[in-house]
Amino acid sequence: MPQHNDASIIDAWSRNTDPWTAAVRGGEIESRVLVTNSAIVEAVRARAPRLGVDLGCGEGWLVRALPEVAMVGVDAIAGLVEQARSAGGGEFRQLSYEQIAAGELQLAADVAVCNFSLIGDEATRGLLRAAPSYLRPGGHLIVQTVHPVVACGDAPYVDGWREGSWAGFSSAFADAAPWYFRTVSSWIALFVEHGLQVVEMREPLHPATRKPASLILTGRLAA
C-alpha cells in the first residue's frame, strides 16, 4: 500500500505536468468545459476583486480567464509554473503550500482562489491558517472542490485519504495522486476554524446528469 500524505501528491503531480497541461488546454475534461470552469470564474467575478491570487494555479488557465483582475498564480510544481509563465496573463510564482503557510507569499489580495487544488490534509490546513498573510481583512477565499456527496461513491461518508485515479484521461497520465476526502460539514468547519466565515455555497449542476459537478465555498476573512 503506497503512503498517503501531502508529499506524495506533489511527487505524483510533478510526473504529470505535460499531460495535465495538454488536457486543460485541449478541453479534454468534460466537466470543466461544461460546468466548473465557468462556475469558478463567475464566483470570482461576483466579488469584483482588483487583486487576486490563484493558489495551486497549475498551467495558469484561471489567471488568463480573468484579464480584468490583477492576478498572481502560485504553484508548487516547477513544470506547471513554467507552462503558466510561457502562456502569460499574470504573475506566476513557484511556492509550496508549506512555504505559503510560513508566510512567504505576502499579498493583500481581495480574493484567493483554490480551484480543485486543495487535495491534501495538513497542507490544506496550513494554507487556510495562513489566509491573513495573503488576503486583506474582509477579503474572500473561494474553494472549488469535488462535491463530497457525489465523489464519495460507495465508500463511507467520513474524512480520510482516498486512492487517486486517472480514469477517463489519456494514457499519458501515470501515478495518480492520492487525495484527502472531506464531508461538506468538514469543509465548513475547516473554514470556520481558521477565521473564515462561510458566506456562500454553490453546487453547480452537470447539464446531463443534473447532479452536482462540484462544491464551491466562499469564506470571508474577518475585517
The answer to whether 179 and 119 are in contact (CB under 8 A) is yes
- Grid coordinates standing for 47? 466579488
User: What pLDDT was estimated at residue 30?
Assistant: 78
Strands 135-145 and 215-221: antiparallel
Q: Look at the chain and count its residues.
A: 223
Residue 223 pLDDT level (bands cut at 50, 70, 90): confident
Amino acid at 60: G
pLDDT digits (tens, 9 = 90+) for 46-58: 999 999 999 999 9
Residues 6+ apart with CB under 8 A from 8: 2, 177, 178
Bridge partners for 201 per DSSP? 217
What nine digits make up the cell of 186? 468538514
150 band by pLDDT with thresholds 50, 70 and 90: very high
Q: Residue 28 pLDDT more than 90?
A: no
Mean pLDDT in residue range 83-96: 94
Average the pLDDT over 105-126 and give the result: 95
For the domain bounded by 6-221, which CATH number is listed?
3.40.50.150
Can you give the residue ranges of every domain in the chain? 6-221
* pTM of the predicted protein model: 0.90
pLDDT digits (tens, 9 = 90+) for 182-213: 999 999 999 999 999 999 999 999 999 999 99
Residue where the block lists cell 490563484:
54
Average pLDDT value over all residues in the chain: 90
- DSSP annotation of 212 reads B
- Measure the CA–CA gap between 212 and 206, rounded to whole angstroms: 6
Cα angle for residues 152, 156, 159 (degrees, 5° grid): 75
Nearest to 91 by CA among 101, 78, 80, 81: 81
Radius of gyration of the chain (CA): 16
C-alpha cell at 213: 459537478
Distance CA 24, CA 50 (A): 26
Cα(90)–Cα(66) distance, integer angstroms? 9
Cα(160)–Cα(155) distance, integer angstroms: 10
